[in-house]
Amino acid sequence: MKYISTRDASRTPATFTDILLGGLAPDGGLYLPAEYPQVDAETLEKWRALLTGDGYAALAAEILKLFVDDIPAADIEAITARAYRTPVFDDEEIVPVTPLDDGVHLGHLSQGPTAAFKDMAMQLLGELFEYELARRETTLNILGATSGDTGSSAEYAMRGRTGIRVFMLTPAGRMTPFQQAQMFGLDDPNIFNIALDGVFDDCQDVVKAVSADADFKARHHIGAVNSINWARLMAQVVYYFSCWLKLTDGPGQKVSFCVPTGNFGDICAGHIARQMGLPIDRLIVATNENDVLDEFFRTGRYRPRSSAETQATSSPSMDISRASNFERFIFDLNGRDAGLTAELFGRRVREGGFELDDAAVRRAADEYGFASGSSTHADRLATIRETHEKLGVMLDPHTADGVHVARGLRDEIDSPIVCLETALPVKFSETIREATGLEPEVPERFAGIMDAGRHVTDMPNDAEAVKKFIEDSIAAHDAR
Phi, psi of 193 (to 5 degrees): -100, 135
| CB-based contacts of 371, cutoff 8 Å, min separation 6 | 282, 283, 284, 285, 297, 365, 409, 412, 413
Is residue 443 included in any domain, yes or no?
A: no
- Catalytic-role residue among 118, 217, 246, 427: 118
Distance CA 395, CA 387 (A): 8
pLDDT mean across residues, the chain: 93
Do residue 187 and residue 244 come from a single domain? Answer: no
Q: Does the pLDDT at position 197 exceed 80?
A: yes
Contact indicator for 190, 166 with CB cutoff of 8 Å: yes
Dihedral pair phi/psi, residue 413, rounded to 5°? -125, 125
For residues 307 and 250, membership in a common domain is answered with: yes
pTM for the whole structure:
0.91
User: Do 472 and 353 reside in the same domain of the chain?
Assistant: no
Residue 467 pLDDT: 96
Decide the pairing of beta strands 354-355 and 370-374.
unpaired
Least confident of 50-54, 297-301, 447-451: 447-451
Number of domains in the chain: 2
Same structural domain for residues 75 and 158? yes
- 51 phi, psi to nearest 5 deg: -65, -40
3-state secondary structure of 192: strand
Annotated catalytic, 118?
Answer: yes
Q: 424-438 pLDDT, tens per residue?
A: 999 899 999 999 999
Average pLDDT over residues 43-62: 97
Domain of residue 246 covers 97-114+236-436
Least confident of 211-225, 368-382, 406-420: 211-225
CATH of the domain at 312: 3.40.50.1100
Tell me whether the omega of the peptide bond preceding residue 26 falls within 30 degrees of 0, making it cis: no
Whether 269 and 379 share a structural domain: yes
- Does the residue 442 lie in any domain? no
Note whether 7 and 341 are within 8 A (CB): yes
In terms of domains, do 317 and 276 share one? yes
